[in-house]
Amino acid sequence: MALHEENRVYCEKTELFSNSFYGTITKIYEHSALVKVEPEQLAKKETDKIDSFGDLVVIRLSELQLVDAAGKPMAEPDDEPLEAAE
């Protein structure tokens, strides 16, 4: 998956949210990402577990979908090929 920091993403649901939500990736890990949940999406939370991280949640990369500003799915960005050093 070629998601990057500052990408806007959509998540169908997690243990913290039974509803879908939107957020922005703040850090990428090997198999997951730290996502800043959009403020209006926090009203959907059904548990206080998220309060320990404020508006941040760790989500598996496989559960995230890259979206545009309107929330429509986008193709994932390709990693740019590296050029060989001379």
Burial class (CB in 10 A: 0-12, 13-18, 19+), 17: buried
| Residue 60: Cβ within 10 Å count | 13
Structural contact between residues 23 and 33, judged by C-beta atoms closer than 8 angstroms: no
Whole-structure pTM value: 0.73
Q: What is the CA radius of gyration of the chain?
A: 14
pLDDT in tens, 4-58: 999 999 998 777 677 788 999 999 999 999 999 888 877 766 555 555 567 888 8
Beta-sheet strand order (sheet of 21-28)? 56-60, 32-37, 21-28, 8-11, 64-66
pLDDT at 28: 94
Specify the length of the chain in residues: 86
pLDDT at 20: 85
- The domain spans of the chain are 8-66
| pLDDT exceeds 80 at position 80 | no
